Amino acid sequence: MNVELFKKSSIGTTVDSDEKDLRVEYKYSSLSWFFITFFGTTRMPYQIDFFCKNTEELFESITDKERISHYMTFRRK
């Protein structure tokens, strides 16, 4: 993943940091939840928020479809 596309927290936490340092929240539309729930299809969220667990700061929030697609493709699983 190209972490240069994303901001860092004040203590250096990145979107590719370990789960112990990072909390990720995905926001989906109602239509996306319908498809996920009833058909089991994977849908892209319309927004992803990244929080540093150490400082509880929201250090990045992305809504750009290309950056969301990049993150969803190359994130740790």
* pLDDT tens-digit map of 27-37: 988 887 777 77
The pLDDT score that the predictor gives to residue 64 is 95
Q: For residue 48, count other CB atoms closer than 10 A to its CB.
A: 21
Higher pLDDT, 11 or 39: 11
Looking at the chain, the whole-number percentage of residues with pLDDT higher than 90 is: 62
Buried b / exposed e across 1-39, counting CB within 10 Å, b at 16+?
A: eeeeebeebeeebbbebeeebbeeeeeeeeebeeeeeee
Determine the distance from the C-alpha atom of residue 41 to the mean position of all C-alpha atoms in its chain, rounded to a whole number: 18
Query: Is 90 exceeded by the pLDDT of residue 7?
Result: yes
Give 50-66 pLDDT, tens digit per residue: 999 999 999 999 999 99
> Nearest to residue 49, comparing CAs of 31, 26, 68, 30?
26
pTM of the prediction? 0.84
Q: Give the span between the Cα atoms of 36 and 24, in whole angstroms.
A: 18
